[in-house]
Structure 1
Amino acid sequence: MISTFLQLQADTLAQAIPTVDKANAALTNEVSVLEFIFKGGLFLIPIAILLFYTIYLVFERYLYINKAAKIDNHLMKDIRTHLNNANIEMAVSSAERAGNAQGYIIKEGVLTIGRHIGEIEGNMERAANIEIGYMEKKLGQLGLIAGIAPTLGFIGTISGVIKIFYSISVTEDISIGNISGGLYEKMISSGAGLIVGIIAYSAYHLFNGKIDNFSLAIQKQVLEFVNIIQRPHGHKAK
């Protein structure tokens, strides 16, 4: 009797060990992120392309806008000094050395000194609009990606769900494992699309905010420049 009981216990343990091994193997596969991502389907390919292009745009625009939108408070002091000394050439050189949008805009103002004040302001505003246009270049693509990437993800999920229900209609297998197993794989594309969309959307608005700040700052610079050339002891515009 005792020997029979021990034999049953041994058989139970022998059957339990493979089950534990399978559970551990399943857990290992679940932790494998790369394999998990690859189960998302073909729609992950265009989403991945959009991700890499978004990263490129974010770095490229950040470097350009960060340099172009920089405001040097010392530049206007140098311009004031040169104009008060009636040294137009040195004022132009100082503006060129700035190497940013502010310098280009101030330079356009210096070159039009002697004209009507309205012409000077108009010329500087046009130069500012050109520089802002350069900063906004490619930002529309980020906005487009912010809308396209999540849509691609949802399409991938919907197509996967359609395949799951088609498979059920053919095999008549409506087990929870069959449905949930296929569904979680297709939801990966939705998650990936949302992540790319969030990155593009956030970058788009952050860059636009930085450009808006530059636009406000450069308006102050234009006003300060006009005040400089209208000072009684400065270089007057006729």
Structure 2
Amino acid sequence: MSIFLQVDSLAVANEALLEDQPIEKTLSIWNLLTSGGVGGISIMVVLFILLFFALFLYFERLMAINKASKIDASFMNNIKMNITTGKIDAAKMLCAQTNSPVARLIEKGISRIGKPLEDINTAIENAGNLELYKLEKNTSMLATISGAGPMIGFLGTVVGMILAFHKMASGGGQIEVGSLAEGIYTAMTTTVVGLVVGIIAYIGYNHLVVKTNKVVNQMEANAVDFLDLLNEPV
């Protein structure tokens, strides 16, 4: 009989020990994002709108720049052949049929043939500036998002911290540590999301800058080839 009593006492002790152990709470990403109250959720919505806008701008500009960088390898050879043989109209037609910044630059130069070389160079430079403006369209907004995202996230954290400490003060110092910690990590979630948005926008912006510079170098190289062609002795 004593053996059964010992077993029962051990079982009761084990149950009490299990009850005293802290229960580990699991936290899903959705709960973390939506547990910041109205203010936190509003800032999260703004950050996700910025993220969507940044991704849209990046892929739209990337496709446009990739399209602008594609040019037939034989384009300049055909231009040289037409100009050296006096077929100016054929060279203009070839440029008009080729949808690329390089073709538009060369077309601008061909339309100035017969004028001083300095005027031709100036016309090509002006056309190049216009093409560069088209390539860089809206990319500066990515740079803005890369800076604004972390700042907006930090704003959400500051607001959340203020609310957490206000709750502690209004509780007369009797607030539970767990409740305070929950409010703090919920507030810091906006900073994490803001940093993610900023990093994505920053990487996208710098990638587009590199791609744009490659197209600009391509335009400059072909413009120099065209001017050299005009400088060749007849």
- Calculate the TM-score normalised by the size of structure 2: 0.89
Query: 1:110/1:53 Cα in 2 relative to 1: closer, same or farther (>3 Å)?
Result: same
How far residue 44 of structure 1 moved from its aligned partner, in angstroms, is 0.5
- Map 1:90-109; keep pairs closer than 5 Å: 90-109=90-109
Percent of paired sites with the same residue: 28
Query: What is the rounded CA distance, in whole Å, between the counterparts of 2:57 and 2:21 in structure 1?
Result: 48
Query: Match of 1:225?
Result: 226
Q: SS in structure 2 opposite 1:232?
A: coil
Contact 2:143–2:201 (Cα < 8 Å) also in 1? yes
RMSD: 2.1
Q: Which moved more, 1:209-218 or 1:114-123?
A: 209-218
The unaligned stretches of length 5 or more in structure 1 are 234-238
The unaligned stretches of length 5 or more in structure 2 are none
Query: What is the rounded CA distance, in whole Å, between the counterparts of 2:207 and 2:19 in structure 1?
Result: 54
Query: Match of 1:65?
Result: 65
Query: What is the rounded CA distance, in whole Å, between the counterparts of 2:106 and 2:112 in structure 1?
Result: 10
Query: Match of 2:204?
Result: 203
Query: 1:19/1:105 Cα in 2 relative to 1: closer, same or farther (>3 Å)?
Result: farther
Query: 1:55/1:19 Cα in 2 relative to 1: closer, same or farther (>3 Å)?
Result: farther
Query: Match of 1:35?
Result: 31
Query: What is the rounded CA distance, in whole Å, between the counterparts of 2:51 and 2:14 in structure 1?
Result: 49
How far residue 192 of structure 1 moved from its aligned partner, in angstroms, is 0.5
- Calculate the TM-score normalised by the size of structure 1: 0.87
Query: What is the rounded CA distance, in whole Å, between the counterparts of 1:20 and 1:110 in structure 2?
Result: 84
After superposition, the C-alpha distances for 1:40-99 in whole angstroms (9 at most, x for unaligned) are 522111001101111110111111111123454421111111111111122112222321
- Map 1:35-54; keep pairs closer than 5 Å: 35-40=31-36, 41-42=40-41, 43-54=43-54
Contact 2:68–2:215 (Cα < 8 Å) also in 1? no
